[in-house]
Each structure stands twice: as C-alpha cells, then as structure tokens.
Amino acid sequence: HRTCIADADKHENLLRLLKCQVKAIMEEAVTKKFVHEESTHVLRLCGTVELCFLDGLKKRVAGFLRYNKIAALFTKVGKVLPEVATLVANVEDLESNINKTNQADEARNSSSNSKKHLWIRVALTSKLLDQIAEHLVDNNKKYYESSSIMADPSRGKILSSMLVGPCALDFTKMKTHDHYWSDPPAGELLQRHRLHSRHGSPSSPGRRPALHFTPLRHHSSSDSIERGTSFRDYVESLHQNSKMMLLYGKNNVAVQPREDVGPIPGYLSLHQEASSMLIKWTPNQLMNTQEEDGDTSSYWEFAICVDVRDIVYLHCHQQLDKSGTLVLVGQDGVQWPPIRFPPGGHLLTFLSCIETGLLPHGHLDPPLWCEKGKGKVFPRLQRRSNRKSSIESKEATDFVFRVSSSSDSSSFDLMNPVSTISHLWKPPEPRRPTERTNGSKSSSRSSLKVLCDTMRRQIISRAFYGWLAHCRHLTTVRTHLSGMVHPDLMLPDEPTDATMGVNQTTWAELMQDGKVLVGSELMRLTYFGGVAHQLRHVVWAFLLGHYPPDSDVADRAAIDTRTKHQYELTMQQWMAVEDIINQVFPVCCRYPMFSIVTPYSLSLPHILYRYPIFSIVTPYSLSLPHILYLLRQQSSNLSDVFTLEEVREDAKYEVIHEVAQEDQAVRADSVPQEDTRSPESALREDDLIAQDDPVAQDEPVAQNDQVAQEAQVPEKDPVAQDDPVAQEAQVPEKDPVAQDDPVAQNDQVAQEAQVPRDDPVAQEAQVPEKDPVAQDDPVAQDDPVAQDDPVAQDDPVAQGDPVEPTAAIDFSFNFNPTQIDISFNPLATELLDSFALNLHRIDKDVQRCDRNHWYFSEEGNLTKLRNIMSCYVWLHLDVGYMQGMCDLAAPLLVVMDDELVYGCFVLIMERVGRNFPNGGAMDSHFANMRSLVQILDAELFEHMRKNGDFTHFYFSYRWFLLDFKRELSYDGDVFSVWERIWAANYCSSHHFVLFFALAMLQIYRDIILENDMDFTDIIKFFNEMAERHDASKLISLAQQLVAQVQQMIQK
C-alpha cells in the first residue's frame, strides 16, 4: 500500500514534469517558429519520456538489449505497427552512422548531443512518438507491470495525449556552417541527405505549427532544476567547475520539503557564477545514484536551486541544540522549506559565505558582526554573545537578514510586478516569482493576490501575442495568396478517379460525336493523371485552347485549314524579306564596311564630337551620312547616340573609297560577294523584282555583281547623289573590288533589270519620307514585301538616273555639312534591320537547340523550328526573338510535328511571353515566390535571407522562362509537367509554375538547410540536378501545395 502511494506520487511527479516540458516546447514553437531538435527542451522532454517508458517495464520486454531498453521496446512495438518498424530501421542506421562519424572525427564533440535519447528523439521528429505511446498505453498489460505509469488508467492516457502536441511540431536540424566539406556535387548531397535523415520526416511544407495555445498553468519555477538527462551531470555541477565557483558546501543539511515528508538529508552548496549566486540543495539520494533510476525522480522535486537575487529575507532560527534553521523568503513573500543545519556553527558560516559572496554589490542587512579574533558572528542584539559554539544563552535567537544591494537601497521591491513582466518574452526563465512546485501549495502565502495578478497578466499577454501573430499570419496569407489559386478545390476522385489521366479509354469517353462535351473534365483528368503519349498531339491542342472544347470534327478541320493557310502566308512574307536581306546584308562580309582613320586613338564618339579631322575609308560607295546612320543603328542602345547635327561644323572629313590598307593584307581573295550598297538603293531595285524573278533572286552572284557594278558607279549612285560633292567623286583607282569584278557580262541583265524598275520608283523618289505604306505603287500594295519597302517613295536621295555600270571611280570630297540633306526613312529600314538581326539570332539559337535529341538531329526538323520561329518573330517584330523561344517550341515540335505547332506555340507565347526580358512578368514571379516561401516555409526563408540574401530568386530564372523545360528530362517529364501547367490554369491556379517551383525547393529543402547553402551553392546544386528530378513527385507535391493554400484561404 505504501508503495502504491509512493508510486502514485512518483507518477504524478513524472506527469507534472512532462507537462512542464511539453508546455515549454510548445511555447518555444510559438515564439520562435521552429524548435531545434537538439535543443535542451527537446532533450529534456525526451529524457522524461524515456523515464516514463521505462518505468515498470517488464523485464522480458526489455529483452536482452539491456543497455538500450528503449530500442528493445520500440522493436517490439515495431512488430505491431509497421511504421514503427521503419523507424527502428532508420534509427539503427542513424546510430551506426553516428558511430562511424564519431570514429572518424574526434574533433567533433557534438556526437554526445546527437546520441542523447536518440531513439525517443527520432521518434518525436518523425511524429511517431505519440502513436507509440498510445499503443503502449492501450496494450500496457503486454509491456508493463501494473504499477507502472503507463498502466495507470488515467495517467497513461494523459501521457500519450500530451505527446500529441510536440509530435505535431516540426523540428529543424539547422546546423552551423561546416568548413570541413567543400563543394560536394549535387548527387552527393542527395545521398548524404538520404543517409542522415532516413527517419523519413515528411517534407511537408507549411511548417508553421497550428497554434495550440496552452495557457499558463503552474509552471516550473526557479526551484525546479534543469532536469538534465544525467544525474551525474547535475551532481558534477555541484562541484566547482569553470563556470561556477563553489563558496560553501555542506553535507547533512536537512530539508523538509513538505509536511508529510520527513526531513531529507542532503548537500547544501553555494555557488557563485558571473553575476549571480545560487543556493543549491540536493537530496542525498540523488547525490549517490550512479545510474538513472526512476525511483529517484521524485527527489528531483525536492531539490532546491535558488538564485540569491530572488531572496529578500533570510530568517535564521537558532535552536537550542545549536543547530540553525534557515528560511529563505522570496520577493513575493513565499518561503522556501526550512533548511536545517547541523549543530556546529554551520549556519553562521553559511551566512558569512553569503555575505562575502554578495559583495561588492550586495550586503546583508544588518551585516554580520565581525568580532575581532573570532570572525563573523551574528549581530549583537542586546547583549553580547559569544561564538555560537560556546553560547551560554539558553534562548533561541532569531535573526532576519535582508539581502540588499548596496547601490540601490530599494532594489528589491517586494511587490513589483512590473519587473516580472519585463521577463515575459524571454524563454522560460527560472526567475519568475510563481508558486513553488515542491508541493508547497499548502504553505502560507502572503502575497497570493500579487502572484495571481502577475500570472494573469502574463497569461493575457502571451495569449494576446499568440493571437496577434496568428491573425497577422492569416491576413498575410490571404492577401498574398488569394490571387494565386482558384477558390474551389478540385478533387482527384470526384466525380471519377482522375489519376488515370487521359488515355485511350477516357479519351473515348470524353469524346462524343467528335466533341469534348465536358471541357472541365478533360482538364481535371489531365491535371491529376496526365495524358498518354500517343494522344498528346491531339489533346494538347485542346489543352492550350487551340481547339475549343465544343468543336466537332468539322470545326477542327476548319481551324486546321485556316491555321495552315495563315502559316503559309506568313511564311511567304518573311521569306521574301529574308531574301531581300540576304541581298542587302550578305551573309559573309569580307571587308569592313568602312573604317574611320584618325590620327588619334579614340573612340568614335570622341572623334565626332571633338576632333575635326578624320577619314573614312571604305571600299563601298558610302558617304558620311550613311556611315553615321549605320553607326547609329549599331549604337542604338547607347546613351550617346550621335546625330549629324552634333558633328562639328568645322569638321573636316573625307571619305576615301578604298579598302583599308591593313585589310588588304588580310584578305587574300578580293571578290566581293555581297551587296554593300546602302539599303535604300538596293531595295529600290529589288523591291519590284517579283519574288519569282529567277534572275534577280536565285543567283546571288549575279545580284552581287550587279550590285558591285553600282559600287563602281558612284555618280549614278542615288545614295551618293545627295552629296553634291559626290557627283564629282570618283571611284578610287585602286579599288580591287571594282577591278576584279567580272560584272561586265551581266551588264545587260542588270541594266535591263534596272531600267524599267527605276522609273516608277524614281518618280516617287520625290515624295517625302514619312509615309512608308500609303503611296506605294499599286503593285506594291498587294505585295507584303513592298509594303515594307522603305525606299520606293522615301528616298529623295534617289533622284536621277538609274545606276549604270561604269569604270571604277576614285572620289574624295570635301564635306560640307550644310549641304547634307539626310532623309532616309528610318522606319522601314529599321524594320529590315531588325528582322535581319532577329534572323541572325534565330539561326544561332536553332543551331544550338536540343541537338542531342533524336528529333533535332535531322536538318529538316531544324528547319521546321527555324520557320516557326521566323514566322512568329515576323508577326511580332516589336518583341523580336529572344533566347529561350526555341526551347519553348521544341517540345511542341517533338510531339506534334506539323503545322499545329505554330498555333500552339503562339498560344504558349501569349501565356509566357511576358517572362522574357522587358515583359515584367519575371519580377512578379520572383516577388510571388518570395511571399510564398515566406509564408509557407518560414525556416527556409530565414535561411535564404541570412546566407547572403538570395531571396531575389535569380536561380529560378531559367525555371520560369522555359517552364522548367531544362530542368526536366525531355521525353516524358517535360511533357507531363507542361500539360499539368496548362490544365492547372483551369483546375487550380493560374500560377501553377510558382507552386511547382516551390515544390522544387521543398523537395530539397533539407539538403539546402543542412548544407547551409548560399546563392552560389544553390545555383550549382540546381544546375547539376537538371534533368535528374523526379517529376511525378514534384507534380504531386506542387498539387498538394496548391490544395493547401486553397484550404488555407477557405478557412
């Protein structure tokens, strides 16, 4: 019976301990957002839980693993619960790993921490601990004696239910930077992560714990000692160590903690730390135990640890038997249990030690009397008293000492709740004047009201803070995320199971009379299950919106025809322009168009602005205005675009038409193959050459020769004619271009070609420049090529007779700025320029696009890609071609491989076009990512901010630009993800890409945090992981994230 009571007490104590620790952890989780899994709170909790689990454990359960009963227990449980079995396996791995690393690296002494309560800790972090506890309680007969806490009907249940809270938390393993490892590749990081964290914590986002608010109940005070895991540690702390100086130590000092418990002998010690003094009392039972034994846990309750700052009064009672009793009275008037000193003047010694320790900032009031030759004595009251040992007085004398600080006489304000509130936001400190937990409820309290007020204030403040944080959190969530997801949740299993996706069967079901009756169902099936590959080329057209869902076969055929027709039309248009460009801006330019020679080595702007003398050397018939124009074209991005007006008036320029000396040396052959006339004159000739003019177009040589002829005819060169000087100009004699030109044979052709065409053009040459389109010749109006033709009407320069081939002429001239009248039409020429530039970029990129893929190893397919790109760019010349567009079109080609591609590509570009530079969408993606991570994964966000702040998310630039095309492996993954993104527009969110990016981060977040990655590391990691991601996992994770946010918004 006695043992029953003792057990009950013990259990009660254990339970109380557990409650304190659970509460501490939950508080920490709320205030700090996440709890480190090796923090002292957690370790303490694990220690207590271990005690509970081991209490009254049946011997045969513990089995042969005497050293690790918990392991044995878990193994047994694992036989019943499969997830526990996994846990067991993980922990065993972990243990062996830790042991290995311990052997490998002695310098790291963190192993002791990582080994403490490993099993319980891992169970806790993998959220299985509460299930285990529940199982143990439910089946306690199997595992425990009837006297154990787990077998206790009420307490056992309480225990297991209390563990639910901590298990629901998410713990962090964030470690400090470790210089030991350098730059491991992504694969190794993955592997290491797998090794170290096999306890399978689900990488679930949304780590912010649900706000369980546990109001302050009685919680541990300064008395309850840090119940470390090892008794030995505590006992060791009683001795002198580097941190604490031992001022006094005495054994056999008895304390009676409660009325019903007799005085327990123990060890009293006085420790001095940096700024505080601690009075500690430990029962002997705790001092002497060498190993953890559940029975002594109750004695922890009785141990005392008091900071002298908490004490105001020391009541000293001397007994007749010369022993002394010391009662400590705290700030709130609560008394500690009396400490009984054995006879022999020990009380006095203790007091003098306190006094000494209090100096210089504090003192005892009244101070101990210092008697000469006798040391310290109690202060004389009325009569002189000898040393205690020889006291003759038979009266017991009582003294009350007040501990005060010398600097501030009123520092210890007994009723000072304000100072207590200032401690409010710190983690639980053992300094609050609240009730003592060593069973002293019954002891008298004089300041109960104050106590209650303080507690109430604390409770309210904490509740308010918690509530405020929660509300702010919700508001932020709503604001940022409400626009990102559709409000209604779409489920994978209603109305039917969608995980099969769109395959032959379901597609047949969807299609009725050739129509997709329920477009939303198609989207839903795709979103949750993807599309079978053989159906992709059809289904994608629906997904992208190319075919409206309620179109029937005839409709679709009509759409196809229309698309094809438009495509072909566009092709014709831009191909014509391309031909012109090829004539005007030839592919291979052997000579520089012109060189500017100055006696100074300066950059061009300098030359023009400041220095008046320079020469232009060009083998072609260019004059200064043209040169300036060309320069202006090239320097269009420069801030210092110069115009003719800015050229100095006294500038002396000369244009020398020859090949620059050094260039001559470089070029071996001198046959020009390009037309280097100014664009205007070239166009004037060519624009009216019908596209099917074989002579003009299909023989670039002939063209060039014809052109070259013009080069020799500067007088007739319409361009040059604006220059009054030029008329006297002559082609330089040394012009090797002219001389070697085998043009003569083609004279006739050229002339004929030229003569008729020039006339109508020439007539319109006078028309002022601004109007590129309107006044075209009637021929030109139907011809899309001619519409773009700038020259026909715009070039007042183009006066006079058509060019005729003549001999090479040398000309140099004195340039008179005032006579210049430059009036090219910038618009049309710019169009040509810009399209030419785009073609160049397209060619460069097409050559580099996915060349390792089987589809693009064929030239024909590359041409298809080029055509698509060119068509698109032709119709969107303001945007132009940008790197990345090829990557977006390529998968479409692989899947569809016909003219449908163009229509679908246009639809894709509508959606993602703004991601390209100057579109502005990329910035909003980054901003949204920032918010999402901040809200859904605060820990990761903190990490990103701390490590050099890469919350600008530039590492995800490629993800968003290409819709993850380069991150995923081509066949299969890219296609799956793309169709999910398109379906998601309808099903769940217009910003599915954001959630997919978030999923990318989440899947590897542990690795990121563990390895303390900064911007550099993240880039390296993701670039190396390209095409190695598990797409299906990412997809489902992203879908989960969307659903999660949807639910959050709904609440």
Partner 1 sequence: GKTYDYLFKLLLIGDSGVGKTCVLFRFSEDHFNSTFISTIGIDFKIRTIDLDGKKVKLQIWYSEIHDQHCKKTLYFSAHHILLVLHLTFIRFFSQSNADFKHSQHASSDVEKMVLGNKCDMTEKRQVSKEQGERLAIEYGIKFMETSAKQSLNVEEAFFTLARSIKAKMDNKMVSGSDSPHSNMTTIHVKASVKKTGFFGRFCSIL
**Residues in 576-605 that interact with partner 1 by CB under 8 A:** 581-582, 584-589, 592-598, 601-604
Rule CB under 8 A: is residue 168 a binding residue for partner 1?
A: no
CA dihedral (640, 641, 642, 643) positive or negative: negative
From 175, 273, 954, 969, residue interacting with partner 1 (rule: CB under 8 A): 954
**Measured from the CB atom, is 365 or 843 closer to partner 1?**
843
From 158, 966, 990, 1036, residue interacting with partner 1 (rule: CB under 8 A): 966
**Measured from the CB atom, is 94 or 839 closer to partner 1?**
839
Determine the size of the site formed for partner 1 (CB under 8 A).
Answer: 72
Q: List, as one string, the DSSP characters of 653-693.
A: EEEE-S--HHHHHH-S-----S--S-HHHHHHHHTTS-TT-
CB 979 within 8 A of CB 1021: no
Interface positions, 738-757, toward partner 1 (CB under 8 A): none
* Residue 634 C-beta: closest distance to partner 1, Å: 6
CB atoms inside a 10 Å sphere around CB 856: 20
Residues 6 or more apart from 785 whose CB is under 8 A from it?
573, 576, 577, 580, 687, 691
From 663, 801, 810, 942, residue interacting with partner 1 (rule: CB under 8 A): 663
**Measured from the CB atom, is 38 or 830 closer to partner 1?**
830
Rule CB under 8 A: is residue 1016 a binding residue for partner 1?
A: yes
State the amino acid at position 824 in one-letter form. Answer: F
From 2, 66, 177, 179, residue interacting with partner 1 (rule: CB under 8 A): 179
Rule CB under 8 A: is residue 837 a binding residue for partner 1?
A: yes
Q: At 553, which helix (H) or strand (E)?
A: helix 553-584
Strand partners, 266: 253, 283
Residues 6 or more apart from 671 whose CB is under 8 A from it?
740, 741
Interface positions, 613-642, toward partner 1 (CB under 8 A): 627, 630-631, 633-638
Interface positions, 701-740, toward partner 1 (CB under 8 A): none
Helix axes 679-686, 700-712, angle to 10 degrees: 130
Rule CB under 8 A: is residue 985 a binding residue for partner 1?
A: no
Rule CB under 8 A: is residue 957 a binding residue for partner 1?
A: yes
Rule CB under 8 A: is residue 790 a binding residue for partner 1?
A: no
From 103, 112, 146, 182, residue interacting with partner 1 (rule: CB under 8 A): 182
Stretch that binds partner 1, among 495-503, 803-811, 969-977, 1015-1023 (CB under 8 A): 1015-1023
* Residue 277 C-beta: closest distance to partner 1, Å: 43
From 192, 317, 387, 840, residue interacting with partner 1 (rule: CB under 8 A): 840
Q: Cα separation of 932 and 926, whole Å?
A: 10
**Measured from the CB atom, is 678 or 709 closer to partner 1?**
678
* Residue 989 C-beta: closest distance to partner 1, Å: 24
Rule CB under 8 A: is residue 659 a binding residue for partner 1?
A: no
DSSP classification of residue 338: P
CB 53 within 8 A of CB 73: yes
Q: Among 795, 779, 788, which residue's Cα sits nearest to residue 577?
A: 788
Place of tokens 């002579």: 695
Angle among Cα 818, 678, 830 to the nearest 5 degrees reads: 90
* Residue 665 C-beta: closest distance to partner 1, Å: 9
* Residue 849 C-beta: closest distance to partner 1, Å: 7
Q: Cα separation of 795 and 182, whole Å?
A: 66
Residues 6 or more apart from 723 whose CB is under 8 A from it?
623, 625, 729, 813, 815, 819, 820
Stretch that binds partner 1, among 41-49, 243-251, 452-460, 960-968 (CB under 8 A): 960-968
**Measured from the CB atom, is 504 or 636 closer to partner 1?**
636
* Residue 530, burial from CB neighbour count under 10 angstroms (0-12, 13-18, 19+): buried
Rule CB under 8 A: is residue 31 a binding residue for partner 1?
A: no
Interface positions, 220-239, toward partner 1 (CB under 8 A): none
* Residue 890 C-beta: closest distance to partner 1, Å: 11
**Measured from the CB atom, is 462 or 841 closer to partner 1?**
841
Sort strands 652-656 and 613-617 into parallel, antiparallel or unpaired.
Answer: parallel
* Residue 1006 C-beta: closest distance to partner 1, Å: 24
* Residue 676 C-beta: closest distance to partner 1, Å: 7
Q: Among 607, 529, 612, 630, which residue's Cα sits nearest to residue 817?
A: 612
**Measured from the CB atom, is 245 or 1026 closer to partner 1?**
1026
Kindly state the tokens that stand for 490: 């779409």
CB atoms inside a 10 Å sphere around CB 605: 15
**Measured from the CB atom, is 3 or 637 closer to partner 1?**
637
Interface positions, 916-935, toward partner 1 (CB under 8 A): 917, 922-923
Give me the 880-919 binding string for partner 1, x by CB under 8 A, dash otherwise. ---xx-xx-----------------------------x--
Q: Among 338, 351, 339, 336, which residue's Cα sits nearest to residue 247?
A: 351
Interface positions, 283-342, toward partner 1 (CB under 8 A): none
* Residue 662 C-beta: closest distance to partner 1, Å: 6
**Measured from the CB atom, is 86 or 598 closer to partner 1?**
598
**Measured from the CB atom, is 8 or 604 closer to partner 1?**
604
Q: List, as one string, the DSSP characters of 910-934.
A: HHHGGGSTTSSHHHHHHHHHHHHHH
Q: Cα separation of 113 and 230, whole Å?
A: 12
Strand partners, 245: 272
CB 219 within 8 A of CB 423: no
Helix axes 700-712, 553-584, angle to 10 degrees: 40
**Measured from the CB atom, is 355 or 717 closer to partner 1?**
717
**Measured from the CB atom, is 595 or 754 closer to partner 1?**
595
Strand partners, 172: 36
Place of tokens 């001095």: 272
* Residue 921 C-beta: closest distance to partner 1, Å: 12
Q: Among 993, 939, 1033, which residue's Cα sits nearest to residue 35?
A: 939
Q: Among 458, 474, 472, which residue's Cα sits nearest to residue 27?
A: 458
Interface positions, 77-136, toward partner 1 (CB under 8 A): none
* Residue 799 C-beta: closest distance to partner 1, Å: 24
From 129, 163, 737, 961, residue interacting with partner 1 (rule: CB under 8 A): 961
**Measured from the CB atom, is 109 or 852 closer to partner 1?**
852
Interface positions, 852-871, toward partner 1 (CB under 8 A): 852
* Residue 593 C-beta: closest distance to partner 1, Å: 5
From 948, 1028, 1033, 1047, residue interacting with partner 1 (rule: CB under 8 A): 948
Interface positions, 664-703, toward partner 1 (CB under 8 A): 666, 674, 676
Strand partners, 318: 324
Q: Cα separation of 279 and 306, whole Å?
A: 5
* Residue 630 C-beta: closest distance to partner 1, Å: 5
CB 789 within 8 A of CB 765: no
CB 206 within 8 A of CB 1044: yes
**Measured from the CB atom, is 302 or 996 closer to partner 1?**
996
* Residue 598 C-beta: closest distance to partner 1, Å: 7
Rule CB under 8 A: is residue 788 a binding residue for partner 1?
A: no
**Measured from the CB atom, is 408 or 662 closer to partner 1?**
662
Place of tokens 């129509």: 515
Rule CB under 8 A: is residue 849 a binding residue for partner 1?
A: yes
**Measured from the CB atom, is 522 or 994 closer to partner 1?**
994
Kindly state the tokens that stand for 804: 């005729």
